Amino acid sequence: MIGLFTMALAAGLNMPCEQLAGVKLERASIGSAATVAEGIFTAPAGGGPPPPPNAPPPKPIPEHCKVTMVLKPTADSNINVELWLPTKNWNGKFLAVGNGGWAGAIQGWGDMQEALRRGYATAGTDTGHSAADGPAGMFALGHPEKIVDFAYRALHDMTVKSKRVIDAFYSAPLDYSYYKGCSTGGRQGVMAAQRYPGDYDGIIAGALANRHIHMHTAGAYRQMQLALNPDEVLPESKAKVVNDAVLAQCDTLHEGFLNNPRQCSFDYASLACKAGASTTDSCLTPGELKSVQTYYGGTKNKKGELIFSGQAYGVPIPAMASSQDPPNPFAFDSIRILGFQDASYDWRKFDLDRDMPIIDKKVGFVDATNPDLRAYEATGGKLLLYAGWRDNGITPENTVLYYESVLREMGPQQDDWMRLFLVPGMMHCGGGPGPNSFDSITALEQWREKGLAPAAMLGTNRESGLKRPICAYPEAAKYKGSGDLKDAANWVCAKP
């Protein structure tokens, strides 16, 4: 044992990895602590989607101490955490990672691997439930504390406990704590800034699902409306008419995507079938036009209040079918389970104007919409927001709307601590024909640690070779007028 302590001290550690199992934590326990040799990591089942077929070969991750924890802040909590601690060349920092969808598993393995290669201690959580608790939102049926864990408590408790273990393991203090997440992870990031401003020195939050309840309600409601109004069905041929017309007018560089959709002023009403004319595949009926206008204009109640934002121009509209089946549980569970605690809830009795306020009152705390981030700003924290302009999962406009709400609350000049980057042609958290890969971690480090605020990040596309600056909003990449469109040198950040 003396030899293990000697080796640990030589490596800058307080104790050998395996002895971390004896660290006492309040309302939590360490299940295991074991040294993992350098090698290729294989994600467990349920730990996120597999890499795409054209992904580069996996890289090994360094030797590390893997710690598993179970956190129980309440009697009904069961939050699983995995913490990786580099045994060599620790950079003095911690990076927490977020989740996607309904979570239910540790999902940020890719970000954790990258963090470990950079020398970070890093951790992820399942947010307090797993597949054993049921699909989608079924874990929340009869378990109000698990809803709170999913909403915000699990990530915070993971961060507090991880810092405690980090302090026990290393002989040097923790210098910086960061967070990185997208989608649900984006919601978790801004929720941390709102509720726990001292948790992180910097936050990367992408494709914000911060209006989880409203987003799901709007999605399920749209399926209900198609079932009740079959004239609003949009066949694939009509969806193609819309998408082709938008690109023909707004994709002036013929790249197949829009660099700044907010500069596109396409009028969908121009596609309406003329009165008295025969209906053809080249025009939209009133019902079809309503579907298109809702898709891009957002879901609203009878007062005209926005329930959830519409899509950006240039995000292809899909075909829309009608079904008498209940809406997809992925979205519907925010209504029937979180909202009404009724697995047999009849979707036909849902009334948006009557029921949205009821659901908000019951579980509105899941949504991270508070624009007052003064407490986070006061800590010196930095907030790097991003979204893909071609995101067909969560509307990029939702991220823009949250950013703009903070400016309305705190004043128009907040770019010394908060910046938004909108990525042309990028889909949900990555992918797509645009510059979909960029180094947000280095940008955040330079900003928080050296005061170098990012005016732009270099975006690349591995498949096409495209390179382009991703500019801090409201600026956007503008083509200089000559040269290869894929060369970043031929683009400049400019205000519209």
pLDDT in tens, 413-448: 999 999 999 999 999 999 999 999 999 999 999 999
d(C-alpha 43, C-alpha 72), whole Å: 25
Confidence class for position 53, pLDDT limits 50, 70, 90 = low
Residues 386 and 421: beta-carbon distance below 8 Å? yes
The whole-number pLDDT of residue 416 equals 98
d(C-alpha 362, C-alpha 373), whole Å: 24
Q: Evaluate if residue 1 carries a pLDDT over 50.
A: no
User: Which regions of 98-251 does DSSP assign to beta strands (E)?
Assistant: 121-125, 176-182, 202-206
Residues 47 and 112: beta-carbon distance below 8 Å? no
CATH 3.40.50.1820 positions along the chain are 17-50+59-210+368-454
The whole-number pLDDT of residue 48 equals 66
Region 289-303: what's the mean pLDDT? 97
Q: Evaluate if residue 121 carries a pLDDT over 60.
A: yes
Q: Which of 199-208, 211-220, 242-251, 279-288 has the lowest mean pLDDT?
A: 279-288
Task: Give 477's contacts (C-beta < 8 A, 6+ positions apart).
Answer: 259, 260, 424, 468, 469, 470, 471, 491, 492, 493
Question: How many other CB atoms are found less than 10 A from the CB of residue 435?
Answer: 25
Length of the chain: 496
Confidence class for position 141, pLDDT limits 50, 70, 90 = very high
d(C-alpha 123, C-alpha 101), whole Å: 18
- The one-letter code for the residue type at 168 is A
Region 391-404: what's the mean pLDDT? 97
The answer to whether the peptide bond before residue 357 is cis (omega within 30 degrees of 0) is: no
Reported pTM: 0.96
Question: How many other CB atoms are found less than 10 A from the CB of residue 277?
Answer: 9
Which stretch of DSSP H or E encloses residue 317?
none
d(C-alpha 275, C-alpha 293), whole Å: 19
User: Which regions of 136-289 does DSSP assign to beta strands (E)?
Assistant: 176-182, 202-206
Q: Evaluate if residue 2 carries a pLDDT over 70.
A: no
Q: Evaluate if residue 312 carries a pLDDT over 50.
A: yes
Question: How many other CB atoms are found less than 10 A from the CB of residue 32?
Answer: 12
User: What is the DSSP pairing of strand 64-71 with strand 28-36?
Assistant: antiparallel
Pick the CATH number of 17-50+59-210+368-454 from 3.20.20.70, 3.40.50.1820, 1.10.357.10, 3.40.190.10: 3.40.50.1820
Region 388-411: what's the mean pLDDT? 98
Coil, strand, or helix at residue 387? Answer: strand
